[in-house]
Amino acid sequence: MNVLVVHAHPDPASFNHTLFETAVTALRAGGHTVETIDLYAEGFSAVMTAAERKAYHSPAPILDPQVARHAQLVRWANALVFVYPTWWAGLPAILKGWLDRVLVAGVAFDFHPRTHKVRPALRNARLILGISTYGSPRWFGFAMADAGRRTLLRALWLCCPRRTRRRWIAMHGIDGTSEAERTAFLHKVDRELRAL
Amino acid sequence: MRVHVVYAHPHEGSFTAALRDAAVATLRRHGHEVDLLDLYAEGFSPELTRDERAHHLDPVETKPALVPFAERLRNADALVLVYPTWWGGQPAILKGWFDRVWGEGVAFTLPEGKDRIEPLLTNLRRLVVVTTHGSSKWVNAVEGEPGKRIVGRSLRVLCHRRARFRWIALYGADRSTEEQRRAFVARVERRLARL
């Protein structure tokens, strides 16, 4: 499969970044063609500009060459993999902004010309997979409603063909985990992505 | 009450800008003191930095860029968020305001030896969202309303114990008529009049 891995963490020395590298290595070992977007490393701007907002409902909503390149990768991908820490129950702003700016009409969905209803356009997508770490213990994560997971596995999934599969690999209570638990989680990610 | 209104939309001629104006005018008319934060106009940068991540448990006073935002939040009795819903949630610029400003020492604290965070924004007794959704209420229900959950649950537990959460939303805004939008402005005014 063509796999696009999108990563959002500001610190290349973080555990989350190690998860990202583990995922990419495992996917390549599994024989997949992998492209990556490391949002912080690329200096991606999360903020949709006024010009982009004005162009949003036009036939040409993409104005920035970096956004155009990312959109091309999204269209190419059969699997979209996201590796990020959950902050305030949701996506880090840089990743939320990536959805706002890159997944526009003509990429993730189309506006019906007459009724203006949104129609799915991620025709190549066969899998959405999220790998996320949570600071809070699991019960608190539930109370906090897991909005990031809902954004990717529901809102984004609505733009995919109906047979598109969804997978979520989560590590809860990251702040209090031991070295051994982290290593075990890395092994789990490696195992699951190799077998994809 | 002192009301902190946080507004996020890139385009000054937008319907969301009209909602902001209606909200601010209504609040002032009813005797509230309004402190308006326009994230786009301020050029707020929503990406939590590497340095902030490394020091995320340090007091906010050590992060000069965030102090003014934290002070405004601490000085309010009510918080009103005005934004368009994109991808089920807040525009990145507003999500980043949560990520960066609602940190340790401002929104919560993790006391020594405890494993549960404690709320610090107990000054906030009202939490109000005014938002528009391009898609229908049904589609948003399927998506699970991520943006509503972040504010109504995650942020609310860091406010006053009896803080009230109010959700004022226009669904199907992409296909709404002039009349429906006017009715929604009236609804915003009516509900904020009874803050």
ipTM score assigned to the predicted complex? 0.94
Residue appearing with tokens 């598109």: A164
**A153 close contact with B: CB closer than 8 A:** no
Inter-chain CB proximity A100 and B53 less than 8 Å: no
**A90 close contact with B: CB closer than 8 A:** yes
**A54 close contact with B: CB closer than 8 A:** yes
Q: Which residues of A touch B47 (CB under 8 A)?
A: 10, 40, 45-46, 92-94
- Residue A62: CB partners within 8 Å, gap ≥ 6? A55, A68, A71, A104, A106, A107
Q: What is the mean pLDDT of residues A31-44?
A: 98
State residue B113's pLDDT score.
74
State residue B165's pLDDT score.
97
**A150 close contact with B: CB closer than 8 A:** yes
Angstroms from B124 CA to nearest CA on chain A? 18
Question: Residue B38 class from Cβ within 10 Å (0-12 exposed, 13-18 middle, 19+ buried)?
Answer: middle
Element (DSSP H or E) covering residue B178: helix B178-193
Number of domains in chain B: 1
Whole-Å CA distances, B40 to A9, A25, A139, B101, B151: 23, 39, 35, 16, 20
What pTM did the predictor assign? Answer: 0.95
What's B115's DSSP letter?
S
Q: Which residues of A touch B95 (CB under 8 A)?
A: 88, 90-93, 96-97
Furthest CA-CA distance within chain B: 56
**A148 close contact with B: CB closer than 8 A:** yes
Q: What CATH number corresponds to the domain at position B94? A: 3.40.50.360
Q: Which of B14, B92, B134 sits opposite A96 (nearest CB)?
A: B92
Element (DSSP H or E) covering residue B98: helix B92-101
- Residues A2-24+31-194: name the CATH superfamily: Flavodoxin domain (3.40.50.360)
pLDDT tens, chain B, 195 aa long: 999 999 999 999 999 999 999 999 999 999 999 999 999 999 999 999 999 999 988 888 899 999 999 999 999 999 999 999 999 999 999 999 999 999 989 998 878 777 677 899 999 999 999 999 998 999 999 888 999 999 998 899 999 999 999 999 999 998 899 999 999 999 999 999 999
- Answer whether A35's CB lies under 8 Å from A5's CB: yes
Q: Residue A135 — very low, low, confident or very high, per pLDDT cuts 50/70/90?
A: confident
- Answer whether A178's CB lies under 8 Å from A186's CB: no
Inter-chain CB proximity A93 and B48 less than 8 Å: yes
Angle at B94 between CA B93 and CA B96, to 5 degrees: 70
Q: What is the mean pLDDT of residues A40-53?
A: 98
**A160 close contact with B: CB closer than 8 A:** no
- Residue B75: CB partners within 8 Å, gap ≥ 6? B2, B4, B35, B123
Domain ranges of chain A: 2-24+31-194
- Domain residues for B93? 2-193
Angstroms from A89 CA to nearest CA on chain B? 6
Summarised one tens digit per residue, pLDDT across range A157-193 is: 999 999 999 999 999 888 778 999 999 999 999 999 9
State residue A138's pLDDT score.
54
Inter-chain CB proximity B146 and A96 less than 8 Å: no
Q: Which of A45, A90, A92 sits opposite B146 (nearest CB)?
A: A90
Please state, for a pLDDT cut of 70, what percent of chain A lies above it: 95
**A142 has pLDDT over 60:** no
Summarised one tens digit per residue, pLDDT across range A89-133 is: 899 999 999 999 999 999 999 988 888 788 999 999 999 999 999
**A141 has pLDDT over 60:** no
> Cα dihedral angle (A68, B88, B125, B97), rounded to 10 degrees?
-10
Q: Which of A50, A97, A118 sits opposite B46 (nearest CB)?
A: A97
State phi, psi for A43 to the nearest 5 degrees: 65, 35
Mutate which of B44, B108, B154 to disrupt the A interface (most A C-beta within 10 Å)? Answer: B154
Mutate which of A74, A82, A87, A122 to disrupt the B interface (most B C-beta within 10 Å)? Answer: A87
Summarised one tens digit per residue, pLDDT across range A51-66 is: 999 999 999 999 999 9
Inter-chain CB proximity A48 and B14 less than 8 Å: no
